[in-house]
Structure 1
Amino acid sequence: MSVFGLRTSNPAFTNYFWKKSKSYSSNKMTLGGIITKTLFMLVLVCCTAFYTWHLFFSGVVVKWHTSIGALVAVFCSIYISYKHNVAKYLLPVYALAKGFFLGGISAYAHKQIPNLPFQAVGVTLLTFFVMFFLYKWRVIRVTKAFRSAIITTSVTIFLLYFIRWIFWWFGISVFFLSGNSRFAIAFNICTAIVASLSLLLDFDYIHRYLGKASKEREWLATWGFLITLIWLYVEVVRLFKKITFR
């Protein structure tokens, strides 16, 4: 999907979501604005994640917290996709809901493998900065072919996850998505790599349109970073669990 002639795998940066708005503002997108909003949203994610974590280790069943949080986050994403002007209102709700989801899966992972979530957070942050410097130093150049490859791979991965979810309702397990075989681990490594490379496309878009896109688009840029970072974190958690129980 294109963005002003560019390509990105992140749904928050597609041509549809970044089309010209009917209202125009003299205020333009700034890096400081994106960083501030992203940090604030991450704080909200951490608040509900820590709350769910506390409930879990207090003996409370957090299955519904995790499930409802995931559903609310999906609903918010879909609504933001169609009504991008409400991003600044729904993004805090999305962040809080995602926190419930992440808190639940993280607590369960920590119970199975102590300190795994903290290791996953460290790997996610390290990957973020590595990708940033790789982009900054032009070690990896975001070309048209690169964008197309990441888009195609990302779409394929999400389709496979959707199929897995459908099969799950019928009690069918997809071995290379749910198991801990060598093939499953290899697949998980590939998804983590794709999630990491998606950050480069996000950096590229923001770099090109700083000072050009309207100020309110910072909310969509923030949403895009949250999607990618959370996806990467979840993939790292899944990978560590598979390797541990191998």
Structure 2
Amino acid sequence: MGVFGLQTSNPAFNSYFWKKSRNYTKDKMSINGIILKSFAMLTLVTITATYTWQLFFSGVSIKWYTAIGMFVAIFCSLFISFKHDSSKYLLPIYALAKGFFLGGISAYAHKHFPYLPFQAIAVTILTFFVMFILYRFKIIKVTREFRAIIITAITTIFMLYFIGWILRFLEIDVSFLWGTSWIAIGFNTLTAIVASFSLLLDFYYIDRQLGRYSKEREWLATWGLLITLVWLYVEVLRLMKKLAIRF
């Protein structure tokens, strides 16, 4: 059972994107291929993030780097969503653009709270491996009910964020989204937990497709994992900033 016809929290792992390809190849998806592509894309993210970071601390304004990076990443994701065969070509652009965005928000956070981004990265990496172990040893089973709950939670969260961004442009403050109250911290904690559980759904859908679809689909799988990891890092960073302000 899904929400709005979706079968997973991540559009990259929706059944629409995994329908049988017309281009048949003997080479099939493999976990090694996904791992290699993930490391390559994360390297691209790191390159542009480091560059933006250095610009910021050398006194250069990075406002446009961060904003343009965010919008380019959104455009690439939307295009891949409707034209999934383009993931092979657009994913590197997405990774580079996302690096500008992440480098920008991380530099701002580091300026006010030294080393906070590095702590957020460590928490994100640790969470990834914890979720993988929980999935690998079936400590948490990804059942239909579990998927339905996580999908519903993610859909609700993103709808709230979307409404919150619109209201923010209208100069209407939604304190539980952007504030530092205990309610805001509670909401941010919930979103970070949901982002963590989203990794389990990603593992589940990748696991189901290994050896069944063409090797080209490894790009789509990598895109899906990257989306979740970036979301998790952003939520963890926001939560840690709010806690740092409170304490």
Give the TM-score, by structure 1 length: 0.97
CA distance in 1, matches of 2:176, 2:185: 8
> Is contact 1:76–1:94 with CA below 8 Å preserved after alignment?
yes
Counterpart position of 2:178: 178
SS class of match (2:171): coil
- Structure 1 counterpart of 2:184, one-letter code: A
Deviation of residue 7 (structure 1)? 3.1
Deviations 1:169-225 (A, max 9, x none): 111111100001111000000000000000001111111221111111100000001
> Is contact 1:7–1:144 with CA below 8 Å preserved after alignment?
no
CA distance in 2, matches of 1:68, 1:6: 29
Counterpart position of 2:88: 88
Counterpart position of 2:151: 151
Counterpart position of 1:132: 132
Deviations 1:62-109 (A, max 9, x none): 000000000000000000001111100000000000000000000000
Give the TM-score, by structure 2 length: 0.96
Counterpart position of 1:25: 25
SS class of match (2:60): coil
CA distance in 2, matches of 1:191, 1:148: 16
Deviation of residue 27 (structure 1)? 1.0
- Greater CA drift, 6-15 or 212-221: 6-15
- Name the count of aligned residue pairs: 244
- Greater CA drift, 164-173 or 32-41: 164-173
Q: Show structure 1 runs of 4+ deviating over 3 A.
A: none
> Is contact 1:48–1:103 with CA below 8 Å preserved after alignment?
yes
CA distance in 1, matches of 2:86, 2:206: 20
- Structure 2 counterpart of 1:157, one-letter code: I
Structure 1: tracts of 5 or more residues without a match: none
Structure 2: tracts of 5 or more residues without a match: none
Deviation of residue 21 (structure 1)? 1.7
- Structure 2 counterpart of 1:239, one-letter code: L
Counterpart position of 1:61: 61
CA distance in 2, matches of 1:167, 1:62: 25
CA distance in 1, matches of 2:63, 2:6: 40
Q: Percent identity?
A: 66
After TM superposition, the structure 1 = structure 2 runs for residues 1-246 of structure 1, keeping only pairs within 5 Å, are: 7-246=7-246
